[in-house]
Amino acid sequence: MVNILSARAVPLTTAEIGRGLEAVTDIRRRHFSRNNPVRDLYNQSSERERKALCLLARLSERHINMKFEEMNEREREQLIEGMIVMRTLTEHFPPRLLHSYKVLEDK
């Protein structure tokens, strides 16, 4: 059976209004924040790091010099998928890899 009652305003207490506003503020902070760690990571990466990320994301060379904000939604999604691939790959590296790289660099 379909409910066909008309909508009506429900009076709220000041405390309920306050809790509702806090909830909305929290949702906005978590989901619509200007703080974007993926954007910050990509934009602050070196050209070499961006090249590796773009390769894993199957993006073209023109993306290497682009900022994250300049990419469209599909390109951003591809970039995030490339970052996930990189993270998965590097989880399997031996723990002493960084140390041995520095030793090779000093020679």
Residues 33-71: pLDDT tens digits? 677 888 999 999 999 999 999 999 999 999 999 999 899
Question: How many domains in the chain?
Answer: 1
pTM above 0.75, yes or no: no
Distance of CA 54 to the CA centre of its chain: 15
Write down the pLDDT at residue 66. 95
Say if 67 falls within a structural domain.
Answer: yes
Residue 17 lies in a domain: no
Kindly state whether residue 27 falls inside one of the protein's structural domains.
Answer: no
* 87-102 mean pLDDT: 75
User: Is residue 54 within 8 Å of residue 86, measured between CB atoms?
Assistant: no
Domain span at residue 45 reads 37-106
Task: For residue 2, tell me if it sits in a domain.
Answer: no
Picking from 21-30, 36-45, 83-92, which range would have the lowest pLDDT averaged per residue? 21-30
What percent of the chain lies above the pLDDT cut of 90? 52
Closest Cα to residue 79, out of 61, 97, 96, 54? Answer: 54
In a domain, 57, yes or no: yes
- The reply to whether 18 falls in a domain is no
